Amino acid sequence: MLFETPSTDKPDLIGKPFKKVHTVLDLHVMVSRWKDSGETIALVPTMGGIHDGHLSLIAKAQSVCDRVIASLFVNPTQFGENDDFETYPMNEKMDTKMLRGAGVDLLFLPSLDEIYPKGFSTSITVSGISNELCGAHRPGHFSGVATVVAKLLLQILPDVAIFGEKDYQQLMVIRQMVRDLNISSQIMGVPTKREKDGLAFSSRNLYLTVKERIIAPKLYRVLCTVAEVALKQPTNLKKICEKAKEDLTKTGFSSVEYLLVCDSETLKPLEKIEAHARVFSAVRLGKARLIDNVPICF
Amino acid sequence: MLFETPSTDKPDLIGKPFKKVHTVLDLHVMVSRWKDSGETIALVPTMGGIHDGHLSLIAKAQSVCDRVIASLFVNPTQFGENDDFETYPMNEKMDTKMLRGAGVDLLFLPSLDEIYPKGFSTSITVSGISNELCGAHRPGHFSGVATVVAKLLLQILPDVAIFGEKDYQQLMVIRQMVRDLNISSQIMGVPTKREKDGLAFSSRNLYLTVKERIIAPKLYRVLCTVAEVALKQPTNLKKICEKAKEDLTKTGFSSVEYLLVCDSETLKPLEKIEAHARVFSAVRLGKARLIDNVPICF
């Protein structure tokens, strides 16, 4: 864990120089200045709704580079027709305050037109890993993610870009894309930051009612149980996952989209435990779609 | 025209330092050295089969940048099943000699594995303009082009990359991709270099028999006639194009894939002449598929 205390207890860094830019042109001015003076740059892309999970990414960024840029852009192309684009919980004022408080040097807050100007017509697809897990349930989602992340990386060309392992499949899709397209940035993953009761920090937790919030941490506990039991019964994965799905439904989750043990590189479902395995799940709980994953450690 | 004399008459530049590299790592060593010393870099991507058309791109590159890198890679992903990938006329030794003779500083000659390592799974698609003209007849072609060109641009991050207007649609697809993905290189087009009889230089001209080589220049003459007549009868484009296709078939071309007057930005076929129009055609002549295009100038 990179932060042990909630964000409000962190030292006040408001006194540090902080800049907010809205255009790629203004972004380039700052980035060039830093690069010319030999400073390294880390990028933390966000869609706002800033929480302690994001702040753990910022902390990692600060530990590996001289300068940290956070971007804040709710990317419409990664939302499906029935997804929550319209209600996604970004709050520019609060998000800016939290990122500034965490010591971010530059916040890039582009408009929709700045990212997708008139005539925009390019998309990036990573086949294979994009089709598993969430990809099977959210067609076009990872193509939207890959395209916007490529743009952000190429606008800044940071030394490092940082993503949370909570969105593990996203991290893997971006890693593959960056490798395939020879983008010069290093992609770093940061372990999932959790509430004390185990619930992974997520902007979408805000959708939960008080009652649902009590049920939600059960997802993490069930995933940990699957990881434990799978080690003891390495060839019995199908039954273990079926049992876990029943547990989740009984506990009060509205539905289980998937719960699978997969290879942590290819994300293909495994029939028996192999060297690199991970448990992945997506569930519905009231208005929220929650995802989580845990490694299976030997 | 950038060169008025054939390439063999050019000054001998063999004495100039020249380097050939096969890996991205070796490429980076040279590129970093030049960038660190403030030199500008132009990239000229080729698939080999070097001719005077390529040399005119090299000359343009030399006129705008300090250093010129040429790449030589026959990209399998832009060939369809029935295309000429297997027989494409690259001759490494001859191509190297010609590029060296033209004063190229660095030749990048990657293997297939260097460009598409095991597990490669990313592709870039530019919708809209990719679907017109050649795109309608060569499914996946422009996605293959866009992906490999993005890789070359991101491997080198040249100040300028140079493409011939003979492949006008390719130039437009690359321009759109570079704009959309915020790739920092400037894309420059160079007017088509032609033989004295008007035939556009093309690696595929080598497929022509002596008899076909006599027929081939008629394509350019017909396109010029269409451009002239279209200015006099600006609302009669459909008939003008039909007549031109008949002329081509009568002259001895095996078939006409398309002959259209299109908007030079969107590449959409026009019903009447507008501000920016261009005549495009693709024909078959024996084993060769030839393409050409000319602007309609007011």
Q: What is the CATH number of the domain that holds B85?
A: 3.40.50.620
| Same domain for A250 and A165 | no
Write out the two tokens for A204: 């979408």
Percent of chain B with pLDDT over 90: 90
**Residue B268 above 60 pLDDT?**
yes
Percentage of chain B lying above the pLDDT 70 cut: 95
- pLDDT, mean over chain A: 94
Whether B198 is covered by a domain: the verdict is no
Residues of chain A positioned with their CB less than 8 A from the CB of B157: 157, 184
Q: What residues make up the domain containing B241? A: 203-296
In a 13 Å sphere around the CA of A48, the CA atoms on its Cβ side amount to 19
Residue A82 has pLDDT above 50, yes or no: yes
Q: Among the three residues B156, B190, B224, which one is the final residue of a domain in this structure?
A: B190
Question: Smallest Cα–Cα separation from A292: which of A281, A277, A284, A276?
Answer: A281
Q: Which residue on chain B is closest to A116 by alpha carbon?
A: B180
Q: Which of A26, A108, A124 to mutate to test the interface with B (most CBs of B within 10 A)?
A: A124
Rounding to the nearest 10 degrees, give the CA dihedral for residues B257, B263, B269, B271.
Answer: -130
pLDDT in tens, B2-55: 333 333 434 445 567 899 999 999 999 999 999 999 999 999 999 999 999 999
Handedness of CA B134, B135, B141, B147 (dihedral sign): positive
Distance (Å) from the C-alpha of residue B240 to the closest C-alpha of chain A?
A: 30
Determine, yes or no, domain membership for A117. Answer: yes
pLDDT at A15 over 90: no
**pLDDT band of A16, cuts 50, 70, 90:** confident
Number of domains into which chain A is organized: 2
Minimal Cα distance from B25: which residue of A? Answer: A182
Same domain, A124 and A220: no
3-class SS letters over A142-179: HHHHHHHHHHHHHHHCCCEEEEEHHHHHHHHHHHHHHH
Report how many Cβ contacts below 8 Å link chain A to chain B. 72
Q: Which residue among B140, B169, B190 closes a domain? A: B190
Asked if A123 and B124 come within 8 Å (Cβ–Cβ), the reply is yes
Q: How far apart are CA A96 and CA A22, in angstroms?
A: 13
Same domain, B13 and B78: yes
First to last CA, chain B: 20
At B26, the amino acid letter reads D
Q: For B41-93, how does the pLDDT look when each residue is reduced to its tens digit (9 = 90+)?
A: 999 999 999 999 999 999 999 999 999 999 999 999 999 988 889 888 879 99
- B20 within domain boundaries: yes
Return the pLDDT at B5.
38
Amino acid at A140: G
What CA–CA distance (Å, rounded) separates B124 from B133? 19
Q: Tell whether B182 and B207 lie within a shared domain.
A: no
**Would the CB atoms of B127 and A121 count as touching at under 8 Å?**
yes
Query: Could you list the active site residues of A?
Result: 54
Q: Across the beta sheet with B288-296, what order do the strands follow? A: B255-263, B277-285, B288-296
Question: Is the same domain home to B156 and B258?
Answer: no
Residues of A in contact with B120 (CB under 8 A): 180
Q: What is the largest CA-CA distance in chain A?
A: 58
- Inter-chain touch B182–A122, beta carbons under 8 Å: no
Whether residue B87 lies inside any domain: the answer is yes
**Burial status of residue B20 (CB atoms within 10 A of its CB: 0-12, 13-18, 19 or more):** middle
Question: Which is more confidently placed, B277 or B4?
Answer: B277
Nearest chain B residue (CA) to A183: B154
Q: Is the pLDDT of residue A11 over 50?
A: no
Q: What is the pLDDT of residue A1?
A: 37
pLDDT at residue A12 greater than cutoff 50: no
The per-residue pLDDT for B131 is 95
Query: Which residue among A146, A154, A182 places its CB closest to the CB of B182?
Result: A154
Confidence of residue B298 (pLDDT cuts 50, 70, 90): confident
Residues of A with CB under 8 A from a CB of B: 24, 119-129, 146-147, 150-151, 154-155, 157, 176-177, 180-184
Nearest to A122 among B120, B176, B184 (CB): B176
Looking at residue A168, what is its pLDDT? 98
pLDDT at B145: 98
Q: Give the closest residue to B191 by CA, choosing from B70, B99, B292, B284.
A: B292
Give the amino acid at B217.
P
- Per-residue pLDDT of B194-233, as tens digits, reads 999 999 999 999 999 999 999 999 999 999 999 999 999 9
Tell me the two tokens of residue B51: 């001719």
Contact residues on chain B for A175, CB-CB shorter than 8 A: none
**Amino acid in the structure at residue A57:** L
Q: Residues of A with CB below 8 A from B127's CB?
A: 121-123
Last residue of a domain, one of B190, B219, B244: B190
Among B192, B170, B179, CA closest to B267 = B170
Residues of chain A with C-beta less than 8 angstroms from the C-beta of B124: 122-125, 181
Looking at beta carbons, which residues of chain B come within 8 Å of A146? 122
Q: What's the mean per-residue pLDDT of chain B?
A: 94
Helices (H), chain A: 24-36, 52-64, 92-101, 112-115, 133-137, 141-156, 168-180, 210-215, 218-232, 237-251
Pairing of strands A160-164, A41-46: parallel
Residue whose entry in the numeric block shows the structure tokens 């890789």 = B151
Distances from the Cα of B69 to the Cα of A34, A105, B10, B13, B16, angstroms: 28, 37, 19, 15, 14
- Residue A84's CB: how many other CB atoms inside 10 A? 15
- The whole-number pLDDT of residue B106 equals 98
Q: How far is A147 from chain B (nearest CA, A)?
A: 8
Q: Which residues of B touch A (CB under 8 A)?
A: 24, 119-129, 146-147, 150-151, 154-155, 157, 176-177, 180-184
Q: Are residues B128 and B11 in the same domain?
A: yes
The pLDDT score that the predictor gives to residue B198 is: 98
Chain A closest CA to B114's CA: distance in Å? 10
Query: Which residues have a Cβ under 8 Å from the Cβ of B146 and sit 6 or more positions away?
Result: A122, B124, B125, B126, B130, B173, B174, B177
Q: Indicate whether B31 and B119 sit together in one domain.
A: yes
Location of structure tokens 């996952």: A241
**pLDDT value at A90 more than 90:** no
CA distance A125 to B67: 33
Mean pLDDT, residues A80-109 taken together: 93
Q: What are the angstrom distances between the C-alpha of B141 and each of A71, B113, B165? A: 34, 20, 17
Q: How far apart are CA B79 and CA A93, in angstroms?
A: 51
Q: Are residues B56 and B153 in the same domain?
A: yes
The enclosing H or E element of B169 equals: helix B168-180
Query: Which residue from B122, B127, B128 is facing A180, i.e. has the nearest CB?
Result: B122
**Residues of B labelled catalytic:** 54
The CATH number covering residue A223 comes to 3.30.1300.10
CB-based contact A182 B154, cutoff 8 Å: yes
Selected residue with higher pLDDT from A106 and B84: A106
On whether the CB atoms of residues A230 and A221 are closer than 8 A, the answer is no
Q: Tell me the three state secondary structure of residue A293.
A: strand
Same domain, residue pair A177 and A254: no
Question: pLDDT tens across A174-226, in order?
Answer: 999 999 999 999 999 999 999 999 999 999 999 999 999 999 999 999 999 99
pLDDT at site A14: 55
Sign of CA dihedral A254, A165, A18, A4: positive
